[in-house]
Structure 1
Amino acid sequence: MNGEVSNDWQVEVFYDGKCPLCLREIKLLRRFDRKERIRFTDIADPLFSPANYAMTMKDFMDEIQGRLPGGEWITGVEVFRRLYAAIGLKPIVSLTRLPGISHGLEFGYRVFAKNRLRLTGRCDDGTCKVD
């Protein structure tokens, strides 16, 4: 279900393994996560149960979810910031916190998240379906 080996992770990412764009990003992160600081959990895995996290599948599908080692949940762009910081890109991550850049990223991510299923070809006849 998840690919963690290390117990020294900094962020857990809950990703949609049926989303081609999401998978491309996850593959990149896995390649650069040499210190195994990211715990990867595929919400499309048949063994995944959102109830184990006191959440619904809709919660996980509406926007990317992340969890910190202390149990704190993070969502949206903040998940990406933590993921990229975990692979050693903290200087770049700090730029994403600047007011104009931060707002642009948040807006862009909200548009993407709202249209993700349609953009990745997972809608038929105007209806987006999630298994």
Structure 2
Amino acid sequence: MEPELEKSTVYFDGSCPLCQAEIGYYRREDQAGALCFVDVSQPGAATPDGMTCQRAMARFHVRAHDGRVLSGAAAFVEVWSRLPNWRWAARAAALPGVLPALELGYRMFLPVRPFISGMVRRILAWRGRGQS
């Protein structure tokens, strides 16, 4: 039996502006240092269980503090469970039927994520030009 790991590792797509914003928020919320962040869009980045970079970027993944690799809604719940201001959401996700509903919502979001990310990139570029 492996010893329990202290931190949960969050694998995220740093090339996605939405992901960057969310991870930035989680970093600020993680006052206790319970999370480690890995940008899988970076060359040579470690991926969970040796999965391809493309697969790691396609969904949100977390290696839980106990070593389990979680994906999608379950990965978000692990993050929430490690952040004091979000533990209520992790507890709510444990109620019957909530995690499957969250996963369904996440799966519905995934196909539109590239479109939304593209819009965010264009808005940021436009705002950057206006600031010069």
The answer to whether the superposition gives a TM-score over 0.5 is yes
Is 1:40 the counterpart of 2:37 in the alignment? yes
Larger CA deviation: 12-21 vs 58-67: 58-67
Q: Distance in 2 between matches of 1:24 and 1:102?
A: 23
- Alpha-carbon displacement from aligned partner over 1:46-100 (angstroms, at most 9, x marks no partner): 23154x8421123212211111244321111111111111111322211122234
Superposition RMSD in Å: 2.2
SS in structure 1 at match of 2:118: coil
- Give the letter aligned to residue 27 of structure 1: G
Match of 1:86 among 78, 82, 85: 82
Distance 1:68 1:96, change over 3 A: closer
- Give the share of equivalent positions with the same residue, in percent: 29
Match of 1:104 among 90, 101, 105: 101
Superposed counterparts of 1:14-25, under 5 Å:
14-25=11-22
Superposed counterparts of 1:1-80, under 5 Å:
8-9=6-7, 11-50=8-47, 53-80=49-76
The runs of at least 4 aligned residues of structure 1 exceeding 6 Å deviation read none
- Give the letter aligned to residue 66 of structure 1: V
Q: Distance in 2 between matches of 1:114 and 1:20?
A: 16
Unpaired stretches in structure 1, ≥5 consecutive residues: 1-6, 123-131
SS in structure 1 at match of 2:70: strand
TM, length-normalised to structure 1: 0.75
TM, length-normalised to structure 2: 0.74
Distance 1:44 1:53, change over 3 A: same
SS in structure 1 at match of 2:32: coil
Distance 1:8 1:98, change over 3 A: closer
- Quote the residue 2:113 is aligned against: 116
Unpaired stretches in structure 2, ≥5 consecutive residues: 120-132
SS in structure 2 at match of 1:120: helix
Q: Across the two proteins, how many residue pairs are aligned to each other? A: 114
